[in-house]
Amino acid sequence: LEDELASAQRVQSASEVQLNALGESWLKVEERGAASREELRGEESALGKAREELSSESEMLRKELLERNLQRELVECHITRAVQEQAAYAALKAEFAARVAEVAQTPGSPSCADGADSPSPQGPLGSVADVPAASDLFAPALSAAASLTEAASALAAVDPPSAAKASALAASLAEAAAGSMPLSP
């Protein structure tokens, strides 16, 4: 009976040792699991921050593209307006030249060969006083050139080729309005 009891105690003691070893292994596994979970949380946090940064950068890029498109549209509007102003300027210039020529050929005008003096010569288009001043005729073209120059400088940082085109058109319009060169079509 004592042998059986001793044998049972040895078995129980061995079982306790195994149970303790198993418990220690379990604690180590739990510690590793906790460390892995903590590491995973850190990685998830870093991934979340990276997503936020990416989203923020994406939003900034979207806004930049939108701003560039808006500036490009603005310059295109200015270019269209400048071309329209240039056409209007050409029509006004032609009308001005025609009226001046018409008045100059009217009998009684100071520029006629017959030498007749008339304070306000009359022609089919009216008197010389009815011919608008050149500065009044060219003011819209000069205004369009200034507006186009302003748009070109705003666009220079975003779209240099369009800015150069707008600047060249503004310079051409300003020169034509100033009368230093003929208006190009």
Of residues 8 and 155, more confidently modeled: 8
Of the chain, the percentage scoring pLDDT greater than 90 comes to: 34
pLDDT tens figures, 61-77: 999 999 999 988 988 88
pLDDT tier for residue 122 given thresholds of 50, 70 and 90: very low
Q: Give how far the C-alpha of residue 76 lies from the chain's centroid of Cα atoms, to the nearest Å.
A: 11
Looking at residue 127, what is its pLDDT?
47
Looking at residue 31, what is its pLDDT?
95
| Mean pLDDT of the chain, nearest integer | 78
Of residues 184 and 39, more confidently modeled: 39
Whether residue 102 has pLDDT greater than 60: yes
Of residues 184 and 149, more confidently modeled: 149
Looking at residue 113, what is its pLDDT?
46
Looking at residue 137, what is its pLDDT?
61
pLDDT tens figures, 31-42: 999 999 999 999
Looking at residue 35, what is its pLDDT?
94
pLDDT tens figures, 144-183: 777 777 777 777 777 788 778 778 877 877 777 666 444 4
HSE of 50, CA atoms in CB hemisphere, 13 A: 6
Q: What are the residue boundaries of the structural domains of the chain, listed by start?
A: 2-178
Query: Would you say the pTM of this structure is higher than 0.85?
Result: no
The DSSP line for the chain is -HHHHHHHHHHHHHHHHHHHHHHHHHHHHHHHHHHHHHHHHHHHHHHHHHHHHHHHHHHHHHHHHHHHHHHHHHHHHHHHHHHHHHHHHHHHHHHHHHHHHHHHHSTT-TTSTT----SS-EETTEEGGGSPPHHHHHHHHHHHHHHHHHHHHHHTTT-HHHHHHHHHHHHHHHHHHHTSSPPP-
What mean pLDDT comes out for the span 95-115?
Answer: 69
Q: How far is CA 179 from CA 48, 80, 90, in A?
A: 64, 22, 11
Other C-beta atoms closer than 10 Å to the C-beta of 19 total 11
